[in-house]
């Protein structure tokens, strides 16, 4: 039977604050175990938390960027559970009054745009990390991550395919990075997601029973986990067996998920208001100042590229995916008359070099440099091949393109007299190829072009060479 897929996501993002949420310890990935800790974040009795203002600001900014209602009054709650990575035996989180509610993100997946509603965004503290020791049977605990500020973004079960969920995650990541709220490095665990998924027969109004998958460490793992879960649940339903409401652990190496806990052993967290922190009241002016401080977000930029620059929706979408690339494009666009040509260079050469240098590495080019290179090409002073070579050099040395062309003698040869002489010589020397050409063999033309290019070290004006050859060869008919 064919089932409709229903997906809801819970996404955790670590906030890019300098210090932790309730103490002055460094919020920094890595470091020797237990070196970014103090009595507050390692859960000593009698200490008091002090709320990090920047963390609240980032949580609110995330909410604004995701079209949420910002709650004027919110508070913190204790979520009680025992686990060795949680030294206080409770996590300070938000239960009934989170900072943000009722948002949405319009997600483009393939040809379709659909609205994914955001139920809530709350602020909480991260837990530590268990380290399974490689020198014995024991497990160690590293509290460096304890107290790192986190937001949890909870969606409504609005996604209907793994593709749509993946597009949501990609666009969410892009927005969080644009807003400066989180660096979203999945490999460092600063963006993590739990996948809730259920199936129902098409046309059925009620949702099916869902499972929740944890330990999904990359977007591609999320995609694999969802597809696995769809197959697993469909098989159960086809066999007339019930899907259990349970939490499962995804094992990406094995490509399978395993039961972690069932509904019966679900936690009762005994939430209660955190007595050591006062509720937070946000003034409307403060909220508005944060709204005004948000940069232009990817969707708005994409629309602007369509309207102002006449780019295709696809190209514009590619350009805005990462702020660094989009900022670079914008800076160049101010200097380049042909936006489409610029777009091709950025999506082609710039993204290629950036990928070589490692995902998310900075763009070392100056916008003026790329603009000057495109001008040299446009004015016919260098060939396309030369433009590519000069680009390579600029990427590593940061030099001015005109200086590279000058130094390496790369200027395009547009001299019709000189090239005409060369063409005549070559035609004289290769009577067989001339015969082939006149007999209709198109490869003969390519042969002659290749010879001219070789003789001029690739600097001859391609178009001019073609014209001269055509004329010369026809004259031998």
Which residues make up the interface to ligand ADP (CB under 6 A)?
6-10, 154-157, 196-198, 207-208, 210
Report the distance separating Cα 375 and Cα 378, nearest Å. 5
Closest by CA to 211, choosing from 238, 230, 237, 192, is: 230
CA angle 354–357–362, rounded 5-degree value: 60
Closer to ligand ADP by CB, 261 or 435: give it.
Answer: 261
Closer to Zn ion by CB, 24 or 348: give it.
Answer: 24
Residue 154 contacts which entry, ligand ADP, Zn ion, none (Cβ below 5-8 A, type-dependent)? ligand ADP
25 touching Zn ion, by CB under 5 A: yes
Burial class (CB in 10 A: 0-12, 13-18, 19+), 159: buried
* 68: its two tokens: 């949420």
Minimum distance between the CB of residue 98 and ligand ADP, rounded to whole angstroms? 12
Closest by CA to 111, choosing from 162, 175, 159, 164, is: 164
Q: Which of 21, 41, 376, 465 binds Zn ion (CB under 5 A)?
A: 41
Closer to Zn ion by CB, 52 or 383: give it.
Answer: 52
Closest by CA to 382, choosing from 329, 296, 456, 295, is: 456
Closest by CA to 177, choosing from 53, 361, 11, 322, is: 322
47 touching Zn ion, by CB under 5 A: no
Closer to ligand ADP by CB, 207 or 258: give it.
Answer: 207
Q: Which of 5, 9, 13, 23 binds Zn ion (CB under 5 A)?
A: 23
Minimum distance between the CB of residue 21 and ligand ADP, rounded to whole angstroms? 22
SS3 6: strand
Torsion region of 270: left, alpha or beta (phi above 0 gives left; psi -120 to 50 gives alpha): left
Closest by CA to 55, choosing from 149, 145, 136, is: 149
Closer to Zn ion by CB, 25 or 60: give it.
Answer: 25
Contacting residues for 4 by C-beta, under 8 A, at least 6 apart:
160, 199, 200, 201, 202, 204
Minimum distance between the CB of residue 384 and ligand ADP, rounded to whole angstroms? 50
Minimum distance between the CB of residue 71 and ligand ADP, rounded to whole angstroms? 17
Minimum distance between the CB of residue 268 and ligand ADP, rounded to whole angstroms? 12
Minimum distance between the CB of residue 72 and ligand ADP, rounded to whole angstroms? 23
Burial class (CB in 10 A: 0-12, 13-18, 19+), 77: buried
Closest by CA to 258, choosing from 209, 220, 211, is: 211
38 touching Zn ion, by CB under 5 A: yes
Which residue has its beta carbon closest to ligand ADP?
8
Q: Please, which of residues 188-247 interact with Zn ion by CB under 5 A?
A: none
The answer to whether 98 and 121 have CB atoms below 8 angstroms apart is yes
Closer to ligand ADP by CB, 10 or 436: give it.
Answer: 10
Closer to ligand ADP by CB, 87 or 208: give it.
Answer: 208
CA angle 83–88–91, rounded 5-degree value: 75
Minimum distance between the CB of residue 40 and Zn ion, rounded to whole angstroms? 5
Residue 25 contacts which entry, ligand ADP, Zn ion, none (Cβ below 5-8 A, type-dependent)? Zn ion
Residue 41 contacts which entry, ligand ADP, Zn ion, none (Cβ below 5-8 A, type-dependent)? Zn ion
Minimum distance between the CB of residue 272 and Zn ion, rounded to whole angstroms? 23
Helices and strands per DSSP (H, E), number in the chain: 16, 16
Q: For Zn ion, which stretch binds (CB under 5 A), given 23-31, 157-165, 274-282, 428-436?
A: 23-31
Across the strands, what pairs with 408? none
Residue 163 contacts which entry, ligand ADP, Zn ion, none (Cβ below 5-8 A, type-dependent)? none
Residue 295 contacts which entry, ligand ADP, Zn ion, none (Cβ below 5-8 A, type-dependent)? none
* 224: its two tokens: 């694999």
Residue 197 contacts which entry, ligand ADP, Zn ion, none (Cβ below 5-8 A, type-dependent)? ligand ADP
Residue 55 contacts which entry, ligand ADP, Zn ion, none (Cβ below 5-8 A, type-dependent)? none
Residues that contact Zn ion, how many (by CB under 5 A): 5
Minimum distance between the CB of residue 57 and Zn ion, rounded to whole angstroms? 20
* 172: its two tokens: 């969410």
Closest by CA to 258, choosing from 220, 232, 222, 219, is: 232
Minimum distance between the CB of residue 129 and Zn ion, rounded to whole angstroms? 15
Which residues in this chain contact Zn ion in the complex, by CB under 5 A?
23, 25, 38, 40-41
């Amino acid at each position: 039977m064919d089932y409709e897929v229903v997906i809801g996501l819970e996404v955790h993002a670590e906030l890019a604050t300098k210090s932790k949420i309730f103490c002055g310890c460094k919020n920094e990935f890595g470091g020797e175990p237990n070196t970014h800790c103090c009595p507050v974040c390692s859960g000593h009795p009698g200490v008091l938390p002090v709320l990090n203002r920047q963390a609240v600001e980032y949580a609110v900014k995330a909410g604004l960027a995701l079209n949420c209602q910002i709650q004027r009054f919110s508070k913190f709650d204790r979520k009680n559970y025992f686990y060795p990575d949680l030294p206080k035996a409770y996590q300070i989180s938000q239960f009934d009054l989170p900072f943000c509610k009722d948002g949405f993100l319009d997600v483009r997946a393939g040809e379709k745009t659909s609205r994914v509603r955001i139920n809530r965004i709350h602020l909480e503290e991260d837990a530590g990390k268990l380290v399974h020791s490689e020198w014995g049977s024991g497990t160690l605990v590293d509290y460096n991550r304890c107290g790192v500020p986190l937001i949890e973004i909870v969606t409504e079960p609005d996604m209907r395919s793994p593709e749509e969920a993946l597009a949501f995650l990609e666009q969410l990541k892009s927005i969080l990075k644009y807003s400066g709220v989180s660096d979203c490095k999945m490999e460092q665990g600063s963006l993590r997601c739990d996948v809730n998924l259920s199936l129902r027969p098409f046309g059925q109004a009620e949702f099916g029973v869902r499972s929740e998958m944890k330990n999904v460490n990359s977007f591609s793992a999320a995609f694999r986990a969802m597809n696995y879960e769809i197959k697993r649940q469909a098989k159960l339903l086809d066999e007339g067996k019930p899907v259990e409401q349970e939490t499962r652990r995804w094992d990406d190496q094995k490509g399978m998920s395993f039961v972690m806990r069932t509904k019966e052993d679900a936690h009762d967290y005994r939430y209660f208001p955190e007595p050591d922190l006062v509720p937070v009241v946000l003034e409307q002016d403060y909220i508005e100042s944060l709204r005004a401080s948000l940069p232009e977000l990817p969707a708005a930029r994409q629309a602007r590229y369509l309207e102002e620059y006449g780019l295709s929706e696809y190209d514009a979408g590619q350009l805005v995916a990462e702020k660094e690339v989009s900022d670079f494009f914008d800076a160049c666009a101010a200097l380049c008359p042909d936006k489409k040509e610029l777009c091709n260079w950025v999506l082609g050469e710039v993204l290629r070099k950036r990928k070589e240098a490692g995902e998310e590495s900075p763009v070392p080019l100056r916008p003026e440099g790329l603009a000057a290179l495109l001008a040299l090409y446009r004015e016919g002073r260098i060939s396309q091949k030369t433009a590519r070579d000069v680009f390579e050099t600029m990427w590593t040395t940061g030099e001015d393109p005109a200086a590279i062309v000058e130094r390496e003698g790369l200027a395009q040869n547009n001299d019709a007299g000189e090239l005409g002489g060369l063409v005549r010589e070559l035609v004289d020397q290769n009577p067989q190829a001339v015969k082939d050409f006149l007999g209709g063999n198109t490869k003969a033309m390519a042969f002659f072009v290749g010879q001219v290019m070789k003789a001029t070290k690739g600097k001859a004006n391609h178009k001019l060479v073609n014209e001269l050859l055509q004329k010369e060869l026809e004259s031998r008919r």
